[in-house]
Structure 1
Amino acid sequence: MSTTHSARLMDGTALARRITERTTARAAAVTRRRGAAPCLATVLVGDDPASVTYVRMKRARCESVGITSRHVPLPAATTTAELVATITALSEDPGVDGILLQHPAGPHIDERAAFEAIDPAKDVDGVTMRSFAAMSFGLPGFVSCTPGGIMRLLEEYEVDLAGRHAVVVGRSAILGRPAGMLLLGRDATVTYCHSRTADVGTLVREADVVVAAVGRPRFVRGEDVKPGAVVIDAGYNAGNVGDVDFETARTRASLITPVPGGVGPMTIAVLLEQTVEAAERSLPA
């Protein structure tokens, strides 16, 4: 009698909770030592409903772990120069430990210029070129939060990446590209797929580890998942649907992240952890 295989779920919610508990204790220690809590400044341009919700959620999580949240709302008509000036002021403010610019900032904004105005010592979201370079070379710095959360999940579930073929579907500056560099840093052989890649399914079928970060619902077909592969779904689309056809993929994968409850909670956990780490670095020796 045959039984239907079902992959083991990678529980990002539980791991994020443990990381956040440690972060809460570290934040309290910072507050005791310097008399002020760690502070994360969130910058939001305009009033896009999804962005407003994300920022509200992040601020609430900050407060729950003992991090002060300073919110800087800017009108939708804000120019790149005005946004850069706002971020530069926050970078120079000794009362701010970390800076988060909510993405996207708007089609009229040069986001790269805005990101580069963030002091790398306060780049707790890991979005500057300097952070990307440090990440790529394995040097001290802050990682992009979602890729960093993915790596923590892989470590938690003891996925040995050395010599494994990892296929990253997506090449965004704050998700796909840094995820690939972090995987490379763990000795995986990395292939990037993107909008110009011919026959993505063929490459996915060769992957020991799949990271789906393309922003298209069920883009990675379950039947293309190699039996026993590890599947990380970093997508989130309307209706709680990821970038992977979950129901089919779970019958073939060995490990898979659910949506929601997989990568998402890890992203915020890493953001909070890195904010406290930035505050710790500011403490006197």
Structure 2
Amino acid sequence: METRRLEYFVVLTSERSFGHAAARLRISQPALSQQIQRLERDLGAKLIDRSVTPFELTQAGIKLLAHSRKLLDDLEEIDALVTDSRVGRVGRLRIGIVPSLLYGDLPAMIRTFQGLFPGIDLRVSKENTNDVVDMLSMAQMDVGLLYSKPRGEVLSHSELYVDPYVVVLPSDHPLAVQDEVSLGQLHDEELLMFPRHGAPEAYDGMIAACVAAGFSPRRTMISGTTYTDQIGFVAAGLGVSLLPSRLATVRMNGAVYRPIAAPAVTSIATIVWNSSVQDPTKGIFVDWFRRRVRETAPAPLRR
């Protein structure tokens, strides 16, 4: 049985006139009548009582109408699902985000995206920079949100926004009374840092900034922790720290944040993906996310 004949039947019952239904379907009235007769032959039952004007549906016609409407609605949903899958509005997306970006604007934007595209199954995990890069390279992750611009033959990235670093000081530190702190004033301080392998670009950037300010920092490596843990270590008096300004929303007794005087030390938030893997769902997320961040985030990069 052709679904086209069921469509004709549903339109006919809606119009209650062969002439009006034929005009709506853009076919001739004899052609419509012929298709309805073929449908009746296929089913082996009369669907329309033509002895009255306007015609009436038989019991078989009433039952077929209910089933036809449901079937055609289901087919329409299937067609929509196929289209959504083809263009990427249905699918799975694995996102890796470094811990420091969980304290900025990006998590709320991920949630907004999920609301706009409910057919996309988002799976978000917190990872360090190197792990995200490795998983992207091996196609074990689809998108990364980093404070880094990884390089590689298969990796592409787009800069989202610039995030200046701030200094985290014990609240009773002599420099805490200043409105801003220059890096040179930290030359005698114990600088709490992550080991280089966790975030090479951030590590190298901090060291280079200190060297440009005229000193090589005294470093205490803090392994297996997050920036928020570093804030706690600063509050405990174990040293000072540099971290992206968006983490300054984390309040902790015993620690204060101060801007870095010019020249500023900055990090750049990026979105990263494996360009060798073609996936329309990933493309939708990357395009939407770049546009959304640049429209709403403070200090966006304009290129």
TM-score (norm: length of structure 2): 0.29
Q: Which has the higher strand share?
A: 2
Give 1 or 2 for the bigger CA radius of gyration: 2
TM-score (norm: length of structure 1): 0.30
Q: Which has the higher helix share?
A: 2
